[in-house]
Structure 1
């Protein structure tokens, strides 16, 4: 019950509760080979686990005073080195444009910009600056030359979420270095508006790589990431998209919520390795990542609600040094949760905070259920005690009745 009530986030400025202990657990897991284990679960497992670890440290560093940023900078650089390694590039094709595809280049460029952002301008090394500028230029040239706003992540496969991350990294370039990609970003947003999923009005989950036409309905596993990054690309467009997403995907299954459906309300579809199992249509992974998207958009109530749910259902194990969820069996889940708790915009602020869709009272059904579950083991003992009390009182009641009858006979 406490996990549902105690604040589990700190907004976009404070130190998120428990995240540094989560990162301590993740670093130990990575040192023990968790990246290779994640790679066996899904194609980008190694890359994602290191990327999210590094990005979470960047977020922590942004919240700390300058003197406390050294650890964040060291760990973020360590993660970036792993992305630049043969293991980090292994799943991706060097023959794509840009090389290794938009997924690899977009996420790594975003982390590279975050590493630069942790440093004062005078302290940024020339090699780091050159690499960030060159990678940004390669991404910008690929978008400018493409006939579609959605570049390929793998040969013959394109997901709009990957291009959204890459486009946000170009906006980060223009914030940290000289403005250069404003025209590329504006053309991209216009092209995206012409290729939205007709059923939801959102960016589709998958598209035809040749034309950018939607081939799969918008799904929460990609939308939750899109809503996290789109605010840094175009805040006004992001605000429109976020409200559409929230209205169609946030749900209260069995009256217990909030949670995030993988498919829009009224639609069902198959689960996959990204969504995980879909009980009642809900994706646990999308719910975790949506908490970060809500926080970025200023939707504090929903961010807090989804994070409280993770604290309740994620079975966290706390020690003074580490914190892990689901007994530490799936570190990639811990990485996504740490990244969501630390979420905030890096480039732009939301055009306006969305109207609240959640009140404190969503917790009431959960609290009633937990109170019942907590009381249930004691009910048989209470029933036995009650029966014993009544049985012990029965002889006394008989004696009292006899004395009353005797007294009445004497009076007569």
Structure 2
């Protein structure tokens, strides 16, 4: 062997070995499964959200700040905290009394004018609930009531839970479109999946027939609500139940999350189509777009947030929730890595929350509780 060949082998082999090791590392990371956070971390995050509930929505509070940005965000901050607390109590029964107390406080906040007033402008603290109103508000309120009743069967809100569930059940039976309005003339599919999940939970807790509304809705959705290009749920339907807006990642991801509570089979089918048409698999990461086949960069809208090459933060966050809820741990880990890249910790000896890295967004309680509920979904 010539000296030059010997020298080439010495310099090339380490490079080949390094490349081989990098390839092995990439494959191992790609196949790694998601592991939920430890109880100690989750409990510190719960304490932060309990503090948000204790403060309420008065002037100068986090909820008031969020409410001024978008009233829906304040409602979601409270409702998803209730869902997360109920889930944590299922996983750690010792937390049940504490969870029941704070979910009751969250329900009380949602019934007060600062939150309720957006959806019922003439409401007062003493006025009865308008059961003919927005399914967005009523769906989340009813699911919160169900979570509270699950934690505390003797809750004083049981009567309201029965009344509201019965009203929603009857409205679904009478709705020509099969979907109820979130706002006048707007029938958002994701908001309806929350209300239907609440009816399924009522049936589970009380033996009522209200789960049938969810079963009928799924049958109709399979026939009429699917986007013809992708097969996933449309974002909106019109008064006759025809798709009114194309499927969107931020909407279908949310819908799958709540479908998993009452029809895991349909949720899983939607999840597979969502992956097929909206995502890009990079092995160690997976990215989800707001619209199938669209790779534009723009400011987006209030639902999608900014779009970078068509990818949106909500689409990826809800895809992570879907993956955890449907036990796709490998994909959950890929999405968790993406989320970890964009978040920062804000920690004290007793509390932990996550903010958005590089940006000081005013919706940190909402961002935190969405992620918390994604990481500890309802036990089924």
Normalising by the smaller structure, the TM-score range is 0.7 to 0.9
Supply the distance in 2 between the matched residues of 1:206 and 1:336 (Cα, whole angstroms): 22
Q: Which residue of structure 1 lines up, in the alignment, with residue 313 of structure 2?
A: 284
Where do residues 333-372 of structure 1 align in structure 2 (5 Å cutoff)? Answer: 333-346=367-380
Corresponding residue to 2:195 among 161, 166, 174? 166
SS at match of 2:305: coil
TM (normalized to structure 1)? 0.74
Change (3 A) 1:214 1:236: same
Contact 1:258 1:305 in 2 (8 A): yes
Q: Does 2:80 correspond to 1:52? A: yes
Corresponding residue to 1:273 among 302, 321, 324? 302
Supply the distance in 2 between the matched residues of 1:50 and 1:141 (Cα, whole angstroms): 26
SS at match of 1:278: strand
Q: Which residue of structure 2 lines up, in the alignment, with residue 112 of structure 1?
A: 145
More strand by percentage: 2
Supply the distance in 2 between the matched residues of 1:20 and 1:7 (Cα, whole angstroms): 23
Q: Which residue of structure 2 lines up, in the alignment, with residue 232 of structure 1?
A: 261
SS at match of 1:112: helix
Q: Which residue of structure 2 lines up, in the alignment, with residue 295 of structure 1?
A: 324
Contact 1:9 1:17 in 2 (8 A): no
Supply the distance in 2 between the matched residues of 1:256 and 1:272 (Cα, whole angstroms): 28
SS at match of 1:179: coil
Q: Does 2:49 correspond to 1:22? A: no
Where do residues 161-200 of structure 1 align in structure 2 (5 Å cutoff)? Answer: 161-195=190-224, 196-200=226-230
Supply the distance in 2 between the matched residues of 1:217 and 1:341 (Cα, whole angstroms): 29
Q: Does 2:234 correspond to 1:207? A: no
How far off its partner does 1:309 sit? 2.4
Supply the distance in 1 between the matched residues of 2:258 and 2:342 (Cα, whole angstroms): 26
Q: Which residue of structure 1 lines up, in the alignment, with residue 97 of structure 2?
A: 70
Corresponding residue to 2:107 among 80, 87, 97? 80
Deviations 1:307-341 (A, max 9, x none): 23222321223443222223674312112111211
Supply the distance in 2 between the matched residues of 1:94 and 1:267 (Cα, whole angstroms): 39
Q: Which residue of structure 2 lines up, in the alignment, with residue 404 of structure 1?
A: none
Deviations 1:127-177 (A, max 9, x none): 322211111101001000110121101111110111111111111111110
Contact 1:15 1:60 in 2 (8 A): no
The range that moved more, 222-231 or 29-38, is 29-38
How far off its partner does 1:70 sit? 1.3
**Structure number, greater radius of gyration:** 1
TM (normalized to structure 2)? 0.80
Deviations 1:357-411 (A, max 9, x none): xxxxxxxxxxxxxxxxxxxxxxxxxxxxxxxxxxxxxxxxxxxxxxxxxxxxxxx
Contact 1:9 1:307 in 2 (8 A): no
Q: Does 2:358 correspond to 1:326? A: no
Q: Which residue of structure 2 lines up, in the alignment, with residue 262 of structure 1?
A: 290
Supply the distance in 2 between the matched residues of 1:182 and 1:319 (Cα, whole angstroms): 43
Contact 1:21 1:321 in 2 (8 A): yes
How many residue pairs match? The answer is: 334
The range that moved more, 108-117 or 285-294, is 285-294
Contact 2:294 2:310 in 1 (8 A): no
SS at match of 2:227: coil
How far off its partner does 1:29 sit? 4.6
Deviations 1:101-146 (A, max 9, x none): 1111111111111111123x5xx23x32221111110100100011
Query: What CA RMSD, in Å, does the superposition of the two structures yield over aligned residues?
Result: 2.8
